[in-house]
Structure 1
Amino acid sequence: MTGHIRKVGLTIAVALTGFAVSPALADSGGVSFWLPGIFGSLAAVPAAPGWAYSTIYIHLNDKAGGGQNFVTSGGIPGSVTAGLNAHADVLVQGITYTSPMPVLGGQAAFTLLTAPGNIGVGIDATLTGPRGNTISGGASDNRTTLTDVFYQGTLKWNQGVHNELVYLTGNIPSGTYDSSRLANLSFGFPAIDAGAGYTYLDPKSGHEFSIVGGLTYNFTNSALRYQNGIDFHLDWAASQFVSKTVHVGIAGYYFQQITDDSGPGARLGGFRGMSVGIGPQIGFMIPMSEGYQGYLNIRGYKDLEVENRPSSWSTWVTFSLSQAASPPAATKPIVRKY
C-alpha cells in the first residue's frame, strides 16, 4: 500500500522595489507531485485477495536557503537571498481492493486514499539592490487542510523469489488548493505517474530487496500559470528478516527532474530539481485474529544531496490491515489398494 502526499506546498514571490523575485527552486516552489520514498520494502510482493486498509503518518521538515541572481529592467544586476523553513504532519487514510481473478497472469489491485494534515511555512528574504542597499521581509502561514484524492492501480507477478510490479497513479484535485496561501497540501493541478518495480524475497535466507522507478507528468497549475517538468524517481529498500515476523534494513531514493519547468509563471527558467536520500527502517508482521494480518513499518529519510529543492528529512509510520494469506490446501494421502 502506498500513499502520495505532496511535499510542503511552497510558492513564494517577493515583490520589492517594483520587480518580483523568488527562490531558485525546481518545480512549482521546489516541490513535486511525487514524494520520494513512497515505495519501500516488499513493494512488488503480491498480497492476499480482498480488502485492505492502511494508515500512514508522515512528518516532513524542509529547509531551503540560497542566492539567486537577477537583472533589473535597466540591465543592472542585483541578488536575492531567501531562507525557508516548513513542516507538515499528515495522516494518510487508504483502502485497497485486490482482485482474486488473474489479470494478464498477474494480480490486480486498486487503491484510493487521501489525508488530512497540518502545514506550517516560514520565509525570510533579503534583497540586495544594484547600489548595495538591502530590503528585508518575511512571511508565515499555518493551515490545517486536506490533500487531493489519490488513486493507484497495480499489477503484480510472482515467480518464486522474484516479484514484478507495474503501476499507474494520479490525483483528483480536492478543491482545497488556495494560490493566495503559502501553505497547501493539495496541488492545484492534476498529475499522472507510471512505473515498474521488482522485489527479491527469499523466505529461506530472509534476504529482501525492492526497487521501483517511474515518471511523472504534471499538468499546468492555471492559478500560477506554471507547469512542472517531467520527473524521474527511483525508490529502493533492502532488509533482512531476523525472525519470521521482523525485518530491519535501509531505504533510499533518487529523484531527478528531466525536463524544464515552463509557462509564464516560470520566471526563473527551467530549473531542474534533484535529491538523494537514505535512512533506516524496521518492519513487523503482526498476526491478527479472524483471518487478518497486520504490518507495521517505521522508516526515516535524510537528504544527502539536493539541487534546486528544499533539503528535507522525513519520518514514516505505516500500519496496514489485510486478509491473511490462505494456508496451502491439505493434500489427501494416497491409499494404495493391493
Structure 2
Amino acid sequence: MASSIIEPKSFIRLLPSSIGIAILAVSLFPEISHADESGVSYWLPGRFSSLAATPQVPGWSMAEVYYHTSVSAFGNLAAAREIQVGRIPANINVDLNLRLNAQADLVLLNPTYTFATPVLGGQLAIGVTGLFGRSAATIDGTLTAAVGPFAVTRMGSIGDSITSVGDLYPQATLKWNAGVHNFMTYLTGDIPVGAYSPTRLANLGIGHAAIDGGGGYTYFNPQAGHEFSVVGGFTYNFKNQDTQYQNGIDFHVDWGASQFLSKQIFVGLVGYAYQQITDDFGQHPILGGFRSRVLGVGPQIGYLFPVGDMQGYLNLKGYGEFANENRPAGWNTWLTFSISPMAPSAGAPIRRMVTK
C-alpha cells in the first residue's frame, strides 16, 4: 500500500459463555447498555511508521502483512467485555474482579494503485485492505451480581475463538514532495462486512462503520540516510446498530525514525500514541465515559531487494505498550512483504510501498 497496511483493530472480542448462576441472572434482562465496543477502536495504533509521507513509484503494488498481538487487561475493560456478552442491565449492582487475555494472528492483503497524473499538485494513491485470520480471548476471575438484598458470586472462565475474514478498509492518500520534506493527507474507513456477532467474545469485524482522516510529514535525506515520519488523525465512529453503542472520537499519532546503513538496509524505532477525546454513547453506568488511551514504542528493521524488474521489501517491527487506560495492552509484531514498481534510478533506497 502506498503508505500503510490497515490493521484491524477488532482483534479482541469475546463470546458469551456462562460463569454460572451470576451470568444466568443478569442474562435475563435483554435491554442493556454496552461497553466501549469492549475497549477496541477502529484505528489500530502503529498503522503508519517510517517513510509514510514519501511519494511512491506510480503503478500497482501489493503488500502482505503477518500481524500477531498478545494483550491483557483488568478492571473496567474486562468488565466491559462481561457486560457486552453477559447483558448486565443498569439496575443491577455488579462487582467484577476479572482478567482479560487475548491473542490474534492475522494475514492482511493490500493492493494499491498509485497514479502518475498529479492531483492538486500531489500524488494520489488508492487501495483497499482485506484480512483473514484467527482471534481468541478469555476472561478469568470473579463476578458478583446483586439485585436488592440478593447477591450471587461465581468464579470461573469464559473463552472464545474465531477463524474467518474481517472488514474491508479502503484508503486514499495524497502526497507532496519538496526536497527532503514530504507531506501527505489521507482518508480511510471501515466497511463492516467481516465476521461479527454482538454475542461473541472474539470477532474479526467491528460491527459498525467508521471514517478516519488526517495528515503527516516525513523528513528524508537520502545522502545522509536520515528519516523521520509522523502521522496524526481523528476517527469518527458510527453507531453499532446491533448494540446501540457508539464509540467516541479518537485522536492518534504514529511515528517512525530510521537510519539507512546501506542502500538496502535500515534500522530504527517506531511508536504511537492513542487517546479517545470524547465519551462513548450507550455505555453501562459503572463504566463512565470509558475513554481509551495507550502508548507504544519498539524497534524496526527494513530490507530492500530486487525481484526481477520490481522492488521487494521486507520489514519487521514490534511495539511494547504501556500507559493504557480502558484498553488492552501488551505487545504486537508486524512482518511485511511488499512488491512494487522499481524506481527509475538505482539511487538511494528511498521509495517503498509500505511502512509496516
TM normalised by structure 2 equals 0.84
Matched, 1:124 2:140: yes
Q: Distance in 1 between matches of 2:105 and 2:225?
A: 33
Q: In structure 2, what is the equivalent of residue 332 of structure 1? A: none
- 1:322 aligns to 2:322 (yes or no): no
Q: Kindly tell me: are residues 262 and 204 of structure 1, through their superposed partners in 2, closer, same or farther at Cα, counting changes over 3 Å? A: same
Count of residue correspondences: 322
Aligned-residue offset at 1:72 = 8.1
Matched, 1:268 2:280: no
Q: Distance in 1 between matches of 2:145 and 2:255?
A: 45
Give the conservation status (yes or no) of the 8 Å contact 1:239–1:250. yes
CA drift of 1:17 comes to: 7.5
Q: Is the 8 A contact 1:54 1:93 kept in 2?
A: yes
Work out which of the residue numbers 51, 60, 75 in structure 2 matches 1:51.
60
Using the aligned pairs only, state the percent identity. Answer: 48
**Matched letter for residue 246 of structure 2:** Q
Report the alpha carbon displacement of residue 129 of structure 1 after superposing the two structures with TM.
Answer: 5.8
**What is residue 7 of structure 2 aligned with on the other side?**
4
The answer to whether the 8 A contact 1:10-1:30 is kept is: no
Note the alpha carbon deviations across 1:49-78, whole angstroms, 9 max, x for none: 00000001100111112267999848xx66
Q: Which range moves more in the overlay, 146-155 or 177-186?
A: 177-186
Give, as a single letter, the amino acid of the residue that structure 2 aligns with 1:297.
N
1:162-214 Cα distance to aligned partner (Å, 9 max, x none): 00010000121215212222110111111000000000000111110000000
Matched, 1:185 2:167: no
Letter in 1 for 2:129: L
**Partners of 2:257 and 2:269 within 8 A in 1:** yes
The alpha-carbon distance between structure 1 residues 260 and 274, as it changes in their structure 2 partners (threshold 3 A), is same
Aligned match of 1:80: 96
In structure 2, the CA distance between the partners of 1:35 and 1:78, relative to structure 1 (3 Å rule), is closer
The residue that corresponds to 1:202 in the other structure is: 221
Letter paired with 1:141:
D
Distance in 1 of aligned mates of 2:24 and 2:193: 36
Render the CA deviation track for 1:108-133: whole Å, top value 9, x for unaligned: 00011101001111111312467997
> d(CA) in 2 for partners of 1:273 and 1:26?
11
The answer to whether structure 1 residue 283 and structure 2 residue 292 are counterparts is no
Answer yes or no: is 1:152 the counterpart of 2:155: no
Query: Could you say what secondary structure the match of 2:287 adopts?
Result: coil
Q: Tell me whether 1:107 sits opposite 2:110 in the alignment.
A: no
The answer for the alignment partner of 1:336 in structure 2 is none
The corresponding residue for 1:335 is none
Shift of 1:268: 2.6
Aligned counterparts of 1:17 and 1:173: Cα–Cα separation in 2: 30
Contact 1:41-1:210 within 8 A present in 2 as well: yes
Greater RCO (Cα-Cα under 8 Å, separation 6 or more): 2
Matched residue, 2:160: 141
CA deviation map 1:276-298 (0-9, x unaligned): 010000011112222x1011110
Distance 2:289 2:14 in 1: 15
Instruction: Give, as a single letter, the amino acid of the residue that structure 2 aligns with 1:138.
Output: S
Q: Secondary structure at the match of 1:115?
A: strand
What SS does the corresponding residue of 1:227 show, helix, strand or coil? coil
SS of residue paired to 1:189: coil
Q: Any gaps of 5 or more consecutive residues in structure 2?
A: 81-87, 347-356
1:299 is the counterpart of 2:299: no
Contact 1:213-1:235 at 8 Å conserved across structures:
yes
Gaps of 5+ in 1: 329-338
CA gap 1:161/1:269 in 2 versus in 1, 3 angstroms: same
In the alignment, the residues of structure 1 paired with residue 128 and residue 272 of structure 2 have an alpha-carbon distance, to the nearest angstrom, of 24
For 1:187, the aligned partner's letter is: I
Q: Is the 8 A contact 1:11 1:28 kept in 2?
A: no
Code of the aligned partner of 1:36: P
Q: CA deviation at 1:94?
A: 0.8
State yes or no: 1:249 paired with 2:268.
yes
Contact (CA 8 Å) 2:283, 2:289: kept in 1 or not?
Answer: no
Amino acid at match of 1:40: S
